[in-house]
Amino acid sequence: MIYNQWYVILESKELGKSKSVKVKRLNENLALWRDENGEVCCISDKCCHRGASLSCGKIINGKLECPFHGFIYDKAGNVRMIPANGKNKPVPQTMKIQAFKTFEAYGFIWLWWGDDDKTEKEPFFFKELEHFSYATLKDHWAVHYSRAIENQLDVVHLPFVHKSTIGRGNRTLVNGPVVIREKELITFYVNNVKDDGKTVPLKPDEIADYEKLFHLQFHYPNIWQNFISEKIRAFAAFVPVDDENTIVYIRYYQKLIAIPILKELFNYIGKISSIIILRQDKRVVITQLPKKSGPKMDERLIMGDKPIIEYRKHRQELIESNSRNPNENLS
Ligand code: FES
Ligand SMILES: [Fe+2]
């Protein structure tokens, strides 16, 4: 995973007020709960005493109690009380576990995966979506999150994987695509057309007025949006669980309809269509080998794969420039 980044890890509604939650994200087992102010707390899910899972414990006055011998943890990962030693006995400073910074907004919880002194104030989000309503779909894919992301950057697969839905019309010929990267944001413009047997696909720099074309955006490390129209968007967050598993959150966003019940119905229908499209993708993507993509793969890419090439290239640059330790195994 790319170090020193904010990652979407969970939807806000998945973390209630009274119960801690156990999740695996970024190869870490995490215990999450909310303190008395409703703020998200996130620590490693392994008690420093004898290794029990803390997420099975109770929340007491905004802190988390280990279910085994009752050690009390604060949100910084410090043990604040050891019952067997007495309520008022000071706790040695070595009694602590790793804590993670979190950020909550737009119905998502982010985790800072990186060095504390490099923490960016807040994660990037497609802020215009704040004015849309949405419905969410959550799905598990047995692939590394890089494969799931690359699928959403793939314009070549549309007439094959989505023949019956968004890829209707047999537009197999891929012009470009034009790929524009501004810092961590990739925008790519799609222009698939029918193949009449004579037309040669246009190279990216041969496409005039590309800004008028249908386009999609990805922002590192793990969010994406599809501009279906000015008032309708598909959004996805690709949440890394470990090297072979990803949780995909798909949201159908719209601001066409604001009337309460109609809005929910419209969003629900949008969500169902997202499920159908996503399952078409998943069926193929989970068969890809290896399960994780990288800069040097035994794959023969073509011009239409330009967004994927750009994603891999910049991802590797980010991994290398944010590595914790040059000798560490980069993933
Ligand atoms: S294992 Fe957690 S308090 Fe003993
Ligand atoms: Fe797809």
Nearest to 4 by CA among 94, 174, 119, 90: 119
298: domain range?
A: 127-321
Which ligand is the nearest neighbour of the Cα of 278?
2
Q: Which domain CATH number covers 179?
A: 3.90.380.10
* Strand order across the 28-34 sheet: 21-25, 28-34, 40-44
**What is the distance in A from the centroid of ligand 2 to the CA of 150?**
10
Q: How many domains does the chain have?
A: 2
In a domain, 143, yes or no: yes
Residue 206 to residues 174, 176, 202, 308, Cα–Cα distance (Å): 13, 8, 6, 20
In a domain, 71, yes or no: yes
Q: Which protein residue has the closest C-alpha to ligand 1 atom 1? A: 50
Tell whether 298 and 203 lie within a shared domain.
yes
Nearest to 222 by CA among 10, 69, 15: 10
Tell whether 97 and 245 lie within a shared domain.
no
State how far the Cα of 252 lies from the Cα of 119, in Å rounded to an integer. 30
Tell whether 42 and 137 lie within a shared domain.
no
Task: Indicate the pairing of strand 185-193 with strand 173-182.
Answer: antiparallel
State how far the Cα of 297 lies from the Cα of 248, in Å rounded to an integer. 24
**What is the distance in A from the centroid of ligand 2 to the CA of 173?**
16
Q: Which residues have CB less than 5 Å away from ligand 2 (the ion)?
A: 281
* Mutation pick for ligand 1 pocket among 48, 53, 54, 69 (CB with most ligand atoms within 8 Å): 69
In a domain, 167, yes or no: yes
**Local confidence pLDDT in tens for the 331 residues of the chain:** 999 999 999 999 999 999 999 999 999 999 999 999 999 999 999 999 999 999 999 999 999 999 999 999 999 999 999 999 999 999 999 999 999 999 999 999 999 999 999 999 999 999 999 999 999 999 999 999 999 999 999 999 999 999 999 999 999 999 999 999 999 999 999 999 999 999 999 999 999 999 999 999 999 999 999 999 999 999 999 999 999 999 999 999 999 999 999 999 999 999 999 999 999 999 999 999 999 999 889 999 999 999 999 999 999 999 999 987 654 444 4
Tell whether 289 and 162 lie within a shared domain.
yes
Tell whether 289 and 249 lie within a shared domain.
yes
Task: Indicate the pairing of strand 72-73 with strand 232-242.
Answer: unpaired
Q: Is 271 within 8 Å of 187 (Cβ atoms)?
A: no
* Cβ 47 under 6 angstroms from ligand 1: yes
Tell whether 313 and 243 lie within a shared domain.
yes
State how far the Cα of 251 lies from the Cα of 258, in Å rounded to an integer. 17
**Most distant CA pair in the chain: distance in Å?**
84
Distance, C-alpha 315 to centroid of its chain: 14
DSSP state at residue 78:
B
Closest ligand 1 atom, CA of 47? 2
* Mutation pick for ligand 1 pocket among 47, 79, 96 (CB with most ligand atoms within 8 Å): 47
Nearest to 139 by CA among 274, 34, 295: 274
**What is the distance in A from the centroid of ligand 2 to the CA of 302?**
17
What is the pTM (predicted TM-score) of this model? 0.94
